Amino acid sequence: MENNDDKLMEKIISLCKRRGFVYPGSEIYGGLAGTWDYGPLGVALKNNIKDAWRKKFVSSRNDMYEVDAAILMNGEVWKASGHVDTFTDPLVECTKCKKRFREDTLKVKGKCDDCGGVTGEARQFNMMFSTKIGAVEDSAATVYLRPETAQGIFVNFKNIVDSFHPKLPFGIAQIGKAFRNEITPRDFIFRVREIEQMEVEYFIREDDADKSFTYWHEEIVSFAEELGLDMASFHEVIVGDGDRAHYSKRTTDFEFDFPFGQKELFGLAYRGSFDLNNHKLEYIDEEAKEKITPHVIEPSMGVDRLVLALMLSAYAEDTQGEEVRSYLKFKPSMAPVVCAVSPLLKNKPELVEKARVVYGMLKSEFGRVMWDDNGNIGKRYRRQDEIGTPWCIVIDFDTLTDDTVTIRDRDTGSQERIAKLELVDYIKERLS
């Protein structure tokens, strides 16, 4: 039977497609499991997330170096990192319908989710996507699409040290795509095969591991708050010895109450010196006058899961008269569109001309501004509410005489009349 959580996911997925946030990948050819395409509003939301991350973790700091490494990486990287041997998930096959599943996602262990048949013995399935480089089909040419952006950071550790001579502690940051051949991609953009990650590898002296772990823990929580995530749905879970990734000495997962259960949103790992040791990379500690292998604290986030968690945090419904209104109460800084500008009537050239001037002024100031003259004003408000636009600005006949406009608030529906010249400051104040 359908429950409210299923219905909520259906509403979010349908809103995403209808309004241009997220579309199924390769849709006109029947789709491709585990891939999704972001439309204009999804791109804007992702950019706002990435801008906020970059501001907090890179540009506002003096100890962070951002890289943009290649997605295709030499196979040797993944042998050294342990991914060739251990980046696996348990795969089971139904003995009846032959469908394959990730064992730990089965509703009932040993029973096929689809036909109820018995599933066979689990075998370890490597989740890395490989491909061949060049024209010759031999094993020497096998390369992997990175399954985590982290290794693109580690392989550039020496380059950053040689170019910038940073003192410990310092971090290297990266935003980029990673690829995982998930056995059962599911739950919309929660478990996908093509992922966008935002990762920091923070290099420290071993003695500072506990202090640094606590520091990054706090940074993650404050970032979640700054984005406007529903903090009542945000939980911390310490990952036990048997459940941590192969490289981790200590992990805290930050989980979110998705409609399909409490699941990982971010991870914070203490990777020790695992990666730098395996890549045979060292650092000359000028203070101690010795060569050391720094240890690493890694806050790691997935952009796609954040998009979903932010949509769920923002989704709201209320009733206005007979009608149920759905809206996304994004923080203004996260909203894909900051404000929409409309002439009250689109067949009145004098209103359109004035509205175009206001639109131009706001567009050059904020960029994320939409022109909307479709349908009546009520319909425009509903449409903007549904995509989470905090303010709608309408140019009417009074504007022509006194240069004032109405500005409507998404959450309360209330309207104010303010001078056109005050608009930029009004929005700027509320954006920050």
CB of 157 to ligand GAP, least distance (A): 15
Using alpha carbons, select from 283, 302, 298 the residue that is nearest to residue 201: 298
Q: Compare residues 247 and 283 and give the one whose CB is closer to ligand GAP.
A: 247
Name the helix (H) or strand (E) containing 394.
strand 391-395
Give me the residue label for tokens 């100890």. Answer: 63
CB of 193 to ligand GAP, least distance (A): 7
Q: Compare residues 272 and 332 and give the one whose CB is closer to ligand GAP.
A: 272
Using alpha carbons, select from 422, 387, 388 the residue that is nearest to residue 407: 422
Helices (H), 235-280: 274-278
What is the C-alpha to C-alpha distance for residues 255 and 422, in angstroms, rounded to an integer? Answer: 42
- Number of other CB atoms surrounding residue 80 within 10 Å: 18
Listed in sequence order, the residues at least 6 apart from 49 whose beta carbon sits closer than 8 Å to its beta carbon are 227, 303, 306, 307, 310, 334
CB-closest chain residue to ligand GAP: 302
CB of 26 to ligand GAP, least distance (A): 18
Q: Compare residues 297 and 387 and give the one whose CB is closer to ligand GAP.
A: 297
Listed in sequence order, the residues at least 6 apart from 420 whose beta carbon sits closer than 8 Å to its beta carbon are 358, 361, 399, 403, 404, 405
Using alpha carbons, select from 197, 297, 283 the residue that is nearest to residue 248: 297
Q: Taking the C-alpha atoms of 7, 11, 14 and 15 in order, what is their torsion angle to the nearest 10 degrees?
A: -170
Listed in sequence order, the residues at least 6 apart from 122 whose beta carbon sits closer than 8 Å to its beta carbon are 90, 91, 92, 103
What is the C-alpha to C-alpha distance for residues 63 and 330, in angstroms, rounded to an integer? Answer: 31
CB of 174 to ligand GAP, least distance (A): 10
The Cα-based distances of 332 to 223, 229, 410, 428 in angstroms read: 16, 13, 10, 10
Beta strand spans in 70-218 (E): 72-74, 88-93, 100-102, 123-126, 130-132, 142-145, 170-179, 194-204
What is the C-alpha to C-alpha distance for residues 45 and 332, in angstroms, rounded to an integer? Answer: 11
CB of 42 to ligand GAP, least distance (A): 14
Q: Compare residues 181 and 333 and give the one whose CB is closer to ligand GAP.
A: 181
Peptide bond connecting 40 to the previous residue in cis, omega within 30 degrees of 0? no
The amino acid sitting at 193 is R
CA Rg value for the chain: 25
Interface residues with ligand GAP (CB under 6 A)? Answer: 148, 150, 180, 182, 191-192, 195, 197, 199, 264-267, 298, 300-302, 304-305
Q: Compare residues 102 and 410 and give the one whose CB is closer to ligand GAP.
A: 102
Q: Compare residues 72 and 115 and give the one whose CB is closer to ligand GAP.
A: 72
What is the C-alpha to C-alpha distance for residues 5 and 259, in angstroms, rounded to an integer? Answer: 5
DSSP3 helix / strand / coil % (the chain, rounded to 5): 35, 30, 30
CB of 134 to ligand GAP, least distance (A): 28
CB of 24 to ligand GAP, least distance (A): 15
Q: Compare residues 41 and 309 and give the one whose CB is closer to ligand GAP.
A: 309
CB of 148 to ligand GAP, least distance (A): 4
Q: Compare residues 311 and 394 and give the one whose CB is closer to ligand GAP.
A: 311
CB of 338 to ligand GAP, least distance (A): 27
CB of 13 to ligand GAP, least distance (A): 15
Q: Compare residues 180 and 420 and give the one whose CB is closer to ligand GAP.
A: 180
Q: Compare residues 184 and 404 and give the one whose CB is closer to ligand GAP.
A: 184
Q: Compare residues 52 and 370 and give the one whose CB is closer to ligand GAP.
A: 52
CB of 170 to ligand GAP, least distance (A): 18
